[in-house]
Amino acid sequence: MKISLQFSPNYLPLLSKYVRFGGATGNFEVADYSIAAAVATHIVVRPATQGGPMIDNPYDGCAGGRFAAAVWGRGYLYGLTGPVDAVDDVDPSPAALSAECRVAFADGAARGHCAAVTGLDIFHGAIDTADRSWFPATAELAVESADPVDGGALDMAKVASSAFAMVLMAATNVMLVNHRLTPPAEVADGLARHFSRTVTALGRPPCEFYLGGAVDLGDVGGELRLTPMYRLLAAARCAAIEFGRPRHFVVGWSTGRPGVLTLLDVHWPLMRRVSDAAPVGSAPTSR
């Protein structure tokens, strides 16, 4: 399996034992397929053909800038989880911060707020739901629904929960300058410890994010596509519908319950067999 990716040089030492690199652009071949999911998501990148890193911490990798990079990441989370319709006037950064770090926090908060308004676009391309080596069951969050749902929709939501948890954990690692790979079995706990607790420490109340999934079972190897993470349910629903696929669903995730996804909206029409369809030109059957 060969993939062309862009990644931060900070991740090169971590990845060197898992992948074989070729060239300076980040082309690599997975050396241990069992940890392909960690390699694929925890470099926190977007395919090179789709335009650069999904979250770029501008202070990460700068000489002496690790503390400023961490402050920028906390600012990003602060903006991402704040009010969608307004930018906060209150500066929650500690008074002891240097002027540079205050600038870093403010820049992170502004970019995070932009992502809250437009959606955090961290999912790219279609997901092969039969190949769980990339997004394994060990990374799944609990999936719940207030209403009975089709088993196929629930299965897709479980795959989506694994992809959501792993990619969001990877993005959180970049925001907070955690230069480590989080194993799939630890991502649910990692989201609680790093994402939710950081947000709470910044004084934010729990907030909700919404994610849409669009399903086409006829697209073998690419059955599932995911929308960006939105703060509004309607935005996730519209984005899922815009994929133009036969089936879609929307799940919600709360920073106050990081180990759970809730199915909120499911459009899952049953597929009819050809033998069940009335012949062309036949009269309707009375029942």
* 284 domain-assigned: no
- Looking at the fold, whether 110 and 234 belong to one and the same domain comes out as no
- Looking at the fold, whether 127 and 246 belong to one and the same domain comes out as yes
Structure tokens at 69: 């990079």
* 61 domain-assigned: no
- Looking at the fold, whether 98 and 192 belong to one and the same domain comes out as no
Element spanning 110, H or E: helix 99-118
- Looking at the fold, whether 98 and 159 belong to one and the same domain comes out as no
C-alpha 265: how far from its chain's center?
19
- Looking at the fold, whether 239 and 102 belong to one and the same domain comes out as no
Q: Is 225 exposed, middle or buried (0-12, 13-18, 19+ CB in 10 A)?
A: buried
- Looking at the fold, whether 38 and 70 belong to one and the same domain comes out as no
- Looking at the fold, whether 41 and 126 belong to one and the same domain comes out as yes
DSSP 8-state symbol, 49: G
Domain termination residue (choose one: 77, 92, 118)? 118
Mind listing the pLDDT tens digit for each residue in 255-266? 999 999 999 999
> Strand, coil or helix: what is 127?
strand
pLDDT at site 165: 92
* 283 domain-assigned: no
CB-CB neighbours of 128 under 10 Å: 17
pLDDT at site 54: 58
Q: CA neighbours within 13 Å on the CB side: how many for 251? A: 33
- Looking at the fold, whether 73 and 155 belong to one and the same domain comes out as no
What is the number of structural domains in the chain?
Answer: 2
pLDDT at site 155: 94
Q: Which domain holds residue 104?
A: 66-118
- Looking at the fold, whether 114 and 200 belong to one and the same domain comes out as no
> Which residues of the chain are modeled with pLDDT < 70?
1-54, 63-64, 87-96, 271-287
Residue with tokens 């279609």: 126
